[in-house]
Amino acid sequence: LLYCDYFSWAILFSHPADFTPVCTTELARAAQLAEKFQERNVQMIALSCDSPESHRGWINDIVAYAKDPNVTSDGFPFEIIADEDRKLAVELGMLDPAEKDSKGMPLTARAVFIIDPSKKLRAQILYPATTGRNFEYVRLCYSLLSCMPG
């Protein structure tokens, strides 16, 4: 989480694979809400096991689905980490052993980590790869946590 400013909250979330319908709609919604998160000093970071090239191509699909003038390919509102070797996903317990890619490698589950400015994990939500997230719920969780002492 060195990517994040020291005095900001962070939301790290993973998705099973680029170019899948549920992941595309989820990240489009996250991108639409990114400005609201930024206004509250929250940095968002996505992660999957796909390559940087895949992420760059997929961002165009996300932007097209978002249909939001504030969500563009050139200024996409958050980074998508390419964890091709799954090292970070393993370390953070994000892999879903029941869901595998075409090579038989486990995919990341739909994990959400909400991290406070002191880099303390304040919430962890883990959805199976087959279940989509509601980013309004993630926003609500952050709002409640940010009002509570660490």
Q: Which residue has the tokens 């890619």?
A: 101
- What are the residue ranges of helices labelled H in 48-134? 52-66, 87-91
Alpha carbon distance 54, 68 (integer Å): 22
Question: In the annotation, is 23 catalytic?
Answer: yes
- Choosing from 4, 23, 49, 141, the catalytic residue is 23
Q: For 105, which DSSP code?
A: P
The pair of structure tokens assigned to 69 is 């003038």
Annotated catalytic sites, by residue?
A: 23
